[in-house]
Amino acid sequence: MHASKGDRLVMHGRVVGQQEQVVEIIEVLGPDGTPPYRVRAENGHETIMSPGPDTVVDHRRTADEG
């Protein structure tokens, strides 16, 4: 898994009816964009996490990238 600051991690629900959780990466702590990541949830809570296999990276583009 490779991600950059500003990307979002989308964690899919593991059981029927469980909603996805989305957090924003605010700092990459591993080498070359690898985990762990410091993330911030929509409610403002921050934590450090190493995403599991049920997580995908939503790469965000900046205005400079097109």
Residue 15 has pLDDT above 60, yes or no: yes
Structure confidence by residue, pLDDT tens digits, 20-66: 899 999 999 999 999 999 999 999 999 999 998 889 999 976 544 54
φ/ψ bin of 35: left (φ > 0), alpha (ψ from -120 to 50), beta (otherwise): beta
Higher pLDDT, 63 or 1: 1
Q: What is the pTM of this model?
A: 0.81
Give the rounded distance of the alpha carbon of 25 from its chain centre. 5
Can you list the positions of beta strands (E) in 1-66? 8-11, 21-28, 37-41, 46-49, 55-58
Closest CA to 9 of 51, 62, 48: 51
46 touches 22 (CB < 8 A): no
The confidence score (pLDDT) of residue 16 equals 80
